[in-house]
């Protein structure tokens, strides 16, 4: 939590007006590279059968020995979708974040967590931002979705829709599940960079897995300090792009009159998806 006793981590003293900083790759220590390597190894073992195919494919293309150089990733990204990553000192204001996305720039925190934060960290660091988010930016449809999201964010700020739009980001970009011909998978960066949630989100019996419904998502609250109680399942990135293409202004109006939904409950009309472990027997031992 960001409180006065717990201020923003990261060095904001040398940033440019748009909050970007140089990565200064030479400044990372051997211990930091080793820690990053351990994070990648732990997580890479968990991807088969859990991460969507696009993520696995692109995470390998982007692979590096230790903390990645943003410059090299930008060559690959530029060729694939025209996106770029830019270094930032840490969390940045909403309007700045949206403007970067709207211009196909993804802000990546330059610092790495401490060894004692191996399993859990509150703020995004370079491992979450790079390992979790950058692979899907190589996918053309997802890349377009995120740009549109940025544009929508700027618009939401003027319409008082930020809270609703933030839920959409949370339940797609950070914690989204996708139903594929091979079975249920995840494409959410918050899950893909988490050692524990990647198994929990697909296999655990407790969480609700609800088929994506735009208004339902924007009504649903979320917790930032524990595994999610509800996940939303898309069929394709095309679906995500299509269903969010409409003008959200009337939706924000409507949402103001609707109740919020607690993530620990389901509501009438929810189409529920069973845990992957129920219909995919080889996973039961892994869960």
Interacting residue ranges for ligand PHE, rule: CB under 6 A? 145, 148-149, 152, 155, 168, 244-248
- Residue 247's binding partner among ligand PHE, Fe ion, none (Cβ under 5 to 8 angstroms by kind) is ligand PHE
Confirm if 119 and 58 have CB atoms less than 8 A apart: no
Range 173-232, binding Fe ion (CB under 5 A):
189
**Cβ proximity to ligand PHE, 36 vs 169, nearer residue:** 169
Shortest Å distance, C-beta 26 to Fe ion: 26
Q: Cα–Cα distance between 106 and 129 in angstroms, integer? A: 9
Round the CA-based radius of gyration of the chain to a whole number and report it.
18
Shortest distance in whole angstroms from residue 168 CB to ligand PHE: 6
39 or 251: CB nearest Fe ion: 39
Nearest distance, CB of residue 231 and ligand PHE, angstroms: 18
Closer residue to Fe ion, CB minimum distance, 142 or 252: 142
Residue 29 site contact among Fe ion, ligand PHE, none (CB < 5 to 8 Å, cut-off depends on kind): none
CB-based contacts of 278, cutoff 8 Å, min separation 6: none
d(CA 266, CA 269): 9
Residue 140 CB, shortest distance to ligand PHE, in Å, is 15
Task: For ligand PHE, give the closer residue by CB, 96 or 157.
Answer: 157
Cα–Cα distances (Å) from 164 to 21, 159, 253, in that order, read: 30, 11, 11
Q: Is 194 exposed, middle or buried (0-12, 13-18, 19+ CB in 10 A)?
A: buried
**CA dist., res. 118 & res. 114, Å (int):** 7
CA 246 to chain centre: 22
Considering CB under 5 A, how many residues would be counted as binding Fe ion?
1
Choose from ligand PHE, Fe ion, none: what does 245 bind? Cβ within 5-8 Å by kind: ligand PHE
For the bound state, the minimum distance from the C-beta of residue 280 to ligand PHE, rounded and expressed in Å, comes to 31
The residue behind tokens 């990553």 is 85
Nearer to ligand PHE, 147 or 194 (CB): 147
Extract the tokens encoding 254: 């409507």
Which residues make up the interface to Fe ion (CB under 5 A)? 189
């Amino acid at each position: 939590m960001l409180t006065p006793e717990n201020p923003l981590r990261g060095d904001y003293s040398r940033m440019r007006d748009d909050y970007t900083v140089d990565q200064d790759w030479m400044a990372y220590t051997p211990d930091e590279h080793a820690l990053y390597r351990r994070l990648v190894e732990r997580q890479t073992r968990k991807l088969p059968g859990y991460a969507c195919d696009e993520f696995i494919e692109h995470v390998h293309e982007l692979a590096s020995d230790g903390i990645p150089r943003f410059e090299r990733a930008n060559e690959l990204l530029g060729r694939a979708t025209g996106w770029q990553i830019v270094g930032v000192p840490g969390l940045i204001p909403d309007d700045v974040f949206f403007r970067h996305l709207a211009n196909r720039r993804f802000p990546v925190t330059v610092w790495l967590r401490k060894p004692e934060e191996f399993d859990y960290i509150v703020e995004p660091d370079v491992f979450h931002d790079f390992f979790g988010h950058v692979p899907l930016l190589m996918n053309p449809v997802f890349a377009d979705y995120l740009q549109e999201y940025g544009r929508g964010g700027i618009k939401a700020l003027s319409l008082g829709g930020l809270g609703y739009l933030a839920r959409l980001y949370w339940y797609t970009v950070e914690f989204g599940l996708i139903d594929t011909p091979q079975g249920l998978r995840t494409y959410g960066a918050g899950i893909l960079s988490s050692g524990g949630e990647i198994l929990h989100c697909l296999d655990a019996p407790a969480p609700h897995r609800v088929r994506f419904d735009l208004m339902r998502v924007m009504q649903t609250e979320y917790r930032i300090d524990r595994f999610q109680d509800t996940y939303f399942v898309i069929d394709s990135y095309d679906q995500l792009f299509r269903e969010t293409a409409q003008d959200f202004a009337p939706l924000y109006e409507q949402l103001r009159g609707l109740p919020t939904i607690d993530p620990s409950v389901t509501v009438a009309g929810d189409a529920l998806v069973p845990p992957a472990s129920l219909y995919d027997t080889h996973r039961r031992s892994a869960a």
